[in-house]
Amino acid sequence: MTRWFSIAAALVLLASGCGSAPPSHDGASIPPELLREARPIGRGPRFHPPARGPILGACEKRLGSRYGAHVEVFAQNRVVIVASGIGTRPPRSYSAGRISRAACYGELVTLEPTGVVLIRPGARVTLSDLFRTWGQPLSPTRLASFAAPRGRRVAVFIGGRRWSGDPTRARLTRHAEIVLEVGPYVPPHRSYTFPPGT
């Protein structure tokens, strides 16, 4: 029962995060590819690391025009939540779980825990910048508080394809879909449906 509840909860999060219609309550109608890709959210602080890093670039009073990139993180076959509030300074106001106002905004920010990273046009930012601003480590063998198994590396997928470079150097380009994994293989998403205006 718990296993199916976790899969159902992950599918609701997955479907809502991807801009799709919510899945039917009839388990037989869930597409098999969604079931293969779905993972439950991990429990405990390692899977919910808070935003606590420095602001990247000038911290401006207005959010301004932004483009979006989407980043998903998996460790130990579980979802690691990309925190809201990355690249912002308190005080923050929230509306429906999303940051609606902050004291100021850096070059890259997250306003909700969906993995959508909003980037100021003209900024050339990488995963290293995102993780530093998040306050979490990233290297070829480390992903937040998780280490790659001995002899293995952090896996990076961009647009569903394996990227062989250093994870820290992957660029956050407009509408990029980037998946980072450590531990068992999770089939990566190839794309993400971004909200209008990003």
Q: What is the pLDDT of residues 30-83, one digit of tens each?
A: 777 777 778 999 999 999 999 999 999 999 999 999 999 999 999 999 999 999
What pLDDT score was predicted for residue 184? 93
Question: In this model, does residue 105 exceed pLDDT 80?
Answer: yes
Phi, psi for 114 (deg, rounded to 5): -105, -10
Question: In this model, does residue 26 exceed pLDDT 60?
Answer: no
Q: Determine the Cα–Cα distance for residues 191 and 185; give it in Å rounded to an integer.
A: 18
Q: Which two tokens stand for residue 85?
A: 């509030």
Alpha-carbon distances of 8 from 16, 81, 161, rounded to whole Å = 12, 17, 26
Question: In this model, does residue 197 exceed pLDDT 60?
Answer: yes
Burial 166-183 (b: 16+ CB within 10 A, else e): bbbebebeeebbbbbbbb
Residues 60 and 141 grouped into a single domain: yes
Residues 29 and 44 grouped into a single domain: no
Q: Determine the Cα–Cα distance for residues 140 and 130; give it in Å rounded to an integer.
A: 15
Residues 11 and 48 grouped into a single domain: no
Provide the whole-model pTM: 0.83
Domain annotation covers residue 197? no
Q: How many domains does the chain have?
A: 2
Q: Region 13-29: what's the mean pLDDT?
A: 45
Strand partners, 72: 179
What pLDDT score was predicted for residue 35? 72
Domain annotation covers residue 134? yes
C-alpha angle 81-132-83 in degrees, rounded to nearest 5:
20
Which has the higher per-residue pLDDT, 59 or 1? Answer: 59
Residues 138 and 45 grouped into a single domain: yes
State pLDDT tens for residues 122-134: 999 999 999 999 9
Nearest to 190 by CA among 179, 180, 181, 174: 179
State pLDDT tens for residues 126-169: 999 999 999 999 999 999 999 999 999 999 999 999 999 999 99
Domain annotation covers residue 188? no
140 near 166, Cβ under 8 Å? yes
Residues 63 and 5 grouped into a single domain: no
What pLDDT score was predicted for residue 28? 58
Residues 31 and 51 grouped into a single domain: no
Residues 63 and 125 grouped into a single domain: yes
Residues 91 and 102 grouped into a single domain: yes
Domain annotation covers residue 193? no
Task: For residue 171, give its domain range.
Answer: 40-182
Question: In this model, does residue 14 exceed pLDDT 70?
Answer: no
Q: For the beta carbon of residue 3, count every other beta carbon within 10 angstroms.
A: 8
DSSP state of 132: H
Residues 53 and 80 grouped into a single domain: yes
Domain annotation covers residue 13? yes
Greatest mean pLDDT among 1-5, 20-24, 68-72, 187-191: 68-72
